[in-house]
Structure 1
């Protein structure tokens, strides 16, 4: 376990996109105040307004709308649409905070969707959206007190940037605040989509943070998908994250070694559920299998779920069926979550995806009193 670094501000510093051969240049793009601001709330609090259900879409349009940002009401939710001048676009849902779309500009001059989402009917007849990019966090304090988030209660606090340079949404968590304060920055650039979470511990005792950013990347089939850059990285086999936004094929629950934990839900991800008090010692032993990646271009054909404990800062997911790739870069997180549903599903269908994301699962983050921790994922587009 490592002490979390203290961040003096809320500004992410993603590097510009890496060249196609995978080398990340040292030049950084800093989101400074001198950049043009689209709209900024001055009188009425956007937090108070956007919390009302149904969300006040007219207020959001009036306060934050611009040539690069628009708002569309869908039931009790609102879709925030961002679009750069070069055509790259992304969408995010409020209050859920789920990033449902990222369409970067491609080598052929058009845009292509790289995130995988599904829309299903909920228990009350409502539309339920899953997949995309979401965050799941767990916080444990002294005495075992805990709290958790699954990216389902966020409000728009601020919006910065311009369609020419970048668009940045600042979200604030509206869940329980008895332990921590949580903010999230979602940033769209011409060749980047960033997700940064900032956690502040206002208390007088240390906290233990666990969780991950989970990205469902759409592929033609996992058989045509390859993880590039993991050779030599150690991993441990663990259960896939099951949250409100995750997509897990039903046949996973049919397997003996997967059934018990696939139904545990979100709590099955975190260390408190690994202490064998649930009577699943045999399953825990099997899932704790360790290994080392021996292929620098690993095909993701088989069903697998791994946490890489010493991964490189950058990973490329290449899909030969769609002829594109996505580069993932992480910051703040020491581990990497990789999940494949396997290739025994329909091409370009519901389970044609792979999951990746920076994580703090096996080695939680220790956040001291008054400390601030920042963890981030950046999706780069190398296809220009």
Structure 2
């Protein structure tokens, strides 16, 4: 499917570009695969290589020097470095918190696509991803499209498009059901956003929105497991513990700024019972991160998803380095998405900034 076909999702505008021929599929050594991809898709702003684990990657860059790296075997975005005005000068700032081990990479921005009949069953586990398309205008935008088959018998056709612009990055997913029966999906695009310090970490944009405590959807790239994310934190210097509502109990965000120095794991959304009404208030389509120490803020925008997941690790962040982080992003986990035979479902996330 051509990358230009994602324009109906209303991603940040970029010129329509020619479709590139598809690369040949097949299991080949990483070095050979990188060479083949470079020959088929390489261009200004798009290069192919490998990461510390030896997995093939695509490196995207645009004219102002902003860059992004995505792993091709699972679609995990491991780095996003936009150009920003920071510490009284123009610089490049890493937005994502990623932890690389000897044989695994976690954190970053990743796609979750699970079978609604079992919250722990990933439809993407074991899928063979491949580069199916690429676009670039050589100046202001570059895009790579990945694809795989998922579900029982490979009946789900998944397209995942990662796009870099000068002031934003976008990840978009299309799931097409080629089977004869409807499927129920829970899904999310979860981002691990990096912060300088635990204090001064907050978000703006959820005031007046209902939320409930809820574990994150299970994923192979998560830094905290669902059990760890929901574990109560002992009261101490940063507070915590009893302030969070019990799972399934709804409350409304009263604060203009949601401070996230203690551990939380929440879904901001219209309660499922409210969605049975003909008219109801949906969750905000965007919110802004606040890092008091760096002075930088980033907007996260959702499209096609009903919920917004938001969590902070509290004191557990020290297991994953010196930087604090949030795990957040658009999701559809409270009410599964039903995709009928021959139908498509689309969703997207954009991270953008105006820190210039």
1:349 aligned to 2:321? yes
In 2, Cα distance between equivalents of 1:294 and 1:215? 24
Match of 2:337 among 365, 375, 379: 365
Q: Report if aligned partners of 1:99, 1:132 keep a CA contact under 8 Å in 2.
A: yes
- Are the aligned partners of 1:236 and 1:290 in contact in 2 as well (CA < 8 Å)? yes
Q: Does 1:116 align with 2:97?
A: yes
Q: Please give the TM-score of this superposition, normalised by the length of structure 2.
A: 0.82
Q: Distance in 2 between matches of 1:30 and 1:149?
A: 29
Aligned to 2:265: 305
Q: Structure 2 stretches of 5 or more lacking a match?
A: 235-244, 271-282
Separation (CA, whole Å) in 1 of partners of 2:248 and 2:221? 25
User: Does 2:82 align with 1:104?
Assistant: yes
Given that 2:195 and 2:323 are in contact with CA atoms closer than 8 Å, whether structure 1 keeps it comes out as no
Work out the CA distance in 2 between the residues paired with 1:116 and 1:229: 22
1:49-68 to structure 2, matched below 5 A, reads: 49=26, 51-54=27-30, 56-68=33-45
Following superposition, the deviation at residue 221 of structure 1 comes to 2.8
Aligned structure 1 segments of 4 or more residues deviating by more than 6 angstroms? none
> Separation in 2 of the partners of 1:84 and 1:151?
32
**d(CA) in 2 for partners of 1:46, 1:319:** 42
| Equivalent of residue 221 in structure 1, options 197, 205, 224 | 197
Indicate conservation of the 8 Å contact 2:45/2:136, yes or no.
no
C-alpha change, 1:344 and 1:63, in structure 2 (3 Å) is closer
Kindly state the Cα deviation for residue 226 of structure 1 after the two structures are TM-superposed.
Answer: 1.0
**2:296 is the counterpart of 1:324:** yes
Deviates more, 1:340-349 or 1:152-161: 340-349
2:201–2:291 CA contact under 8 A, matched in 1? yes
Asked if 1:287 is matched to 2:267, the reply is no
Say whether the 8 Å CA contact 1:169–1:187 is kept in structure 2.
yes
Write the distance in 2 (CA, Å) between the matches of 1:366 and 1:255. Answer: 31
- 2:317 and 2:164 map into 1 onto residues whose CA distance is 32
Would the aligned equivalents of 2:144 and 2:163 in 1 still touch at CA under 8 Å?
A: yes
Using structure 1 for the length normalisation, give the TM-score. 0.76
The answer to whether the Cα contact below 8 Å between 1:135 and 1:151 also exists between their aligned partners in 2 is no
Q: How many residues align?
A: 324
Q: 1:79 aligns with which of 57, 62, 78?
A: 57
* Distance in 2 of aligned mates of 1:173 and 1:30: 25
Alpha-carbon RMSD: 3.1
In structure 2, what is the equivalent of residue 172 of structure 1?
147
CA contact (8 A) 1:340 1:354 kept: yes
CA gap 1:256/1:104 in 2 versus in 1, 3 angstroms: closer
Q: Counterpart in 1 of 2:237?
A: none
8 A Cα contact 1:140 1:147, kept in partner: no
Show CA shifts across 1:23-80 (max 9, x none): xxxxxx1552xx3x5x822xxx51505x434361111111111221111134541121
Q: 1:181 to 1:382 in 2, by over 3 A?
A: same
Is the partner of 2:175 in helix, strand or coil?
A: strand
Q: Does 1:40 align with 2:12?
A: no
Q: Secondary structure at the match of 2:91?
A: coil
Contact 1:341-1:351 within 8 A present in 2 as well: no
Q: Of the candidates 158, 169, 172, which is equivalent to residue 133 of structure 2?
A: 158
1:215-250: CA deviation from partner (whole Å, max 9, x where unpaired)? 000011343211101001101111133421110289
Q: For residues 218 and 152 of structure 1, what CA distance do their matches in structure 2 show?
A: 29
Q: How many Å apart are 1:344 and its aligned residue?
A: 6.5
Cα displacement (A) at 1:350: 5.0
Kindly tell me: are residues 12 and 105 of structure 1, through their superposed partners in 2, closer, same or farther at Cα, counting changes over 3 Å? farther
**CA–CA distance in 1 between the matches of 2:114 and 2:251?**
26
